[in-house]
């Protein structure tokens, strides 16, 4: 099968596009999925580089334990490992696993769920990791009617879903983004948008019941100073130093929490229900073919992604030729409303 393979940590040039990779066989409790689409997360970049080094505790200290890359998947179940009870061959599913930048990947059955029928496969693939992070963040932040939530990094993969989930929970939402994304975050339901290139939310007296930090540029102490009496600061920032600082503070303050998304089928079910109810829809920024994974990761590294970028695995070869280096983003407010 075709797959993206990584044997050593380093730059994106170390990634190999191969057409001769053996198809994985599902082990006990796993399903094998023919991948229709995968999506790109900052964690994929960390896996390629092995930085932050903390991640190597999970991925392998000297070299990646598993050579596959890619974490989000949407596709069709093609075979079952022993003991699988929740799925049958032919089921269309989405979820999280390792190695989804490939034509076939195996996943634990408790980390996949029926895919939302109202989404395309690429849209479904955009949802798992970012959606579960956003959902768990909004729970930890007790987003509800009467609560005011501030999202730093609101136009990215996690942020644009957090806006929609917070709105579904009836919270008031302030989105922090740059000027070009103000229209996008408003179209997704944010009540207020703050352009961080011109304004600083800490310069105002507004207090928030939850601050979800996805970028790590405003000192944690300043964020905490802008919390309401029972407010909470939630750190989901892919930088070891920031997470360590937040973790240390969380030991002495219940108002600071570090988020580590936990992958589970029940949250995938919850996300599907939000999609079915019309409350959540991922925004696709750019689409890449499997061969274009290094380009997709380079784009992710700009930290300018609007919504999510996706990898289309089963796109016909003819169409794939145009998926390598997309010129236009789909993530403009008009596209988001469609
Ligand atoms: N805890 C977990 O399990 C978990 C899971 C997933 C993700 N994460 C972490 O969560 C963070 C966000 O992930 P993501 O997938 O949403 O990232 P992403 O899609 O790469 O985020 C890109 C967005 O960040 C915005 N941005 C950049 N600098 C900003 C700033 N100073 N203020 C406000 N917005 C800014 C950009 O908007 P502009 O172009 O407008 O600046 C862009 O839309 C990452 O650090 C990731 O590692 C953690």
Residue 154 Cα to ligand 1 midpoint, Å, equals: 8
Please indicate, yes or no, whether residues 136 and 252 belong to a single structural domain of this protein.
yes
Determine the structural domain holding residue 12 and report its residue range.
3-126+282-337
CA separation (Å) from 76 to 5, 28, 93, 107? Answer: 22, 18, 6, 12
Please indicate, yes or no, whether residues 74 and 92 belong to a single structural domain of this protein.
yes
CATH (domain of 207): 3.40.50.720
Please indicate, yes or no, whether residues 209 and 318 belong to a single structural domain of this protein.
no
E strand map for 158-268: 172-177, 192-195, 208-213, 227-235, 256-258
Among 214, 238, 263, residue to substitute to test ligand 1 (most atoms within 8 Å of Cβ): 214
Does the global pTM surpass 0.75?
yes
| Number of domains the chain contains | 2
CATH (domain of 32): 3.90.180.10
Please indicate, yes or no, whether residues 111 and 156 belong to a single structural domain of this protein.
no
Which atom number of ligand 1 is nearest to the Cα of residue 308? 19
- Domain assignment present for residue 197? The answer is yes
Please indicate, yes or no, whether residues 242 and 179 belong to a single structural domain of this protein.
yes
- Domain assignment present for residue 119? The answer is yes
41 CB less than 6 Å from ligand 1?
A: yes
Residue 278: helix, strand or coil by DSSP? coil
177 CB less than 6 Å from ligand 1?
A: yes
Residue 155 Cα to ligand 1 midpoint, Å, equals: 8
- Domain assignment present for residue 169? The answer is yes
> Which residue's CA is the closest to the ligand 1 atom numbered 25?
153
- Domain assignment present for residue 330? The answer is yes
Question: Residue length, the chain?
Answer: 338
Last residue of a domain, one of 191, 223, 258: 258
Please indicate, yes or no, whether residues 239 and 300 belong to a single structural domain of this protein.
no
Among 47, 49, 156, residue to substitute to test ligand 1 (most atoms within 8 Å of Cβ): 156
Q: pLDDT tens, position by position, for the chain (338 residues)?
A: 999 999 999 999 989 999 999 999 999 999 999 999 999 999 999 999 998 888 898 889 999 998 999 999 999 999 999 999 999 999 999 999 999 999 999 999 999 999 999 999 999 999 999 999 999 999 999 999 999 999 999 999 999 999 999 999 999 999 999 999 999 999 999 999 999 999 999 999 999 999 999 999 999 999 999 999 999 999 999 888 899 999 999 999 999 999 999 999 999 999 999 999 999 999 999 999 999 999 999 999 999 999 999 999 985 444 444 455 443 467 765 444 43
């Amino acid at each position: 099968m075709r797959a993206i393979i990584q044997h050593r940590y380093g730059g994106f040039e170390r990634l190999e596009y191969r057409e001769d990779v053996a198809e994985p066989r599902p082990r006990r409790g796993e399903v094998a999925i023919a991948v229709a689409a995968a999506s790109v997360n900052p964690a994929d970049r960390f896996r390629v580089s092995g930085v932050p080094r903390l991640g190597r505790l999970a991925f392998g200290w000297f070299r990646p334990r598993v050579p596959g890359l890619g974490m989000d998947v949407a596709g069709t179940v093609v075979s079952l490992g022993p003991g699988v009870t929740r799925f049958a061959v032919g089921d269309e599913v989405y979820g999280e696993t390792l190695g989804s930048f490939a034509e076939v990947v195996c996943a634990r059955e408790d980390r996949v769920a029926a895919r939302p029928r109202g989404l395309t496969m690429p849209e479904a693939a955009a949802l798992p990791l970012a959606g579960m992070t956003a959902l768990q963040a909004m729970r930890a932040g007790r987003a509800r009617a009467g609560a005011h939530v501030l999202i730093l990094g609101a136009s990215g993969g996690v942020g644009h879903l957090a806006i929609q989930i917070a709105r579904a929970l009836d919270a008031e939402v302030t989105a922090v983004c740059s000027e070009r994304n103000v229209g996008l975050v408003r179209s997704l339901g944010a009540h207020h948008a703050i352009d961080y290139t011109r304004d600083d939310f800490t310069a105002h007296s507004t207090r928030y019941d939850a601050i979800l930090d996805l970028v790590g540029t405003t000192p944690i102490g300043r964020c905490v100073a802008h919390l309401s009496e029972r407010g909470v600061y939630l750190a989901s920032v892919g930088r070891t130093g920031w997470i360590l600082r937040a973790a240390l503070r969380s030991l002495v303050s219940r108002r600071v929490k570090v988020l580590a998304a936990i992958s589970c089928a029940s949250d995938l079910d919850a996300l599907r229900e939000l999609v079915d109810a019309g409350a959540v829809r991922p925004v696709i920024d750019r689409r890449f073919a499997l061969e274009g994974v290094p380009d997709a990761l380079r784009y992710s590294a700009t930290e300018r992604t609007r919504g999510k970028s996706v990898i289309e695995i089963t796109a016909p070869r003819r169409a794939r030729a145009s998926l390598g280096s997309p010129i236009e983003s789909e993530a403009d407010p008009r596209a988001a409303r469609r």
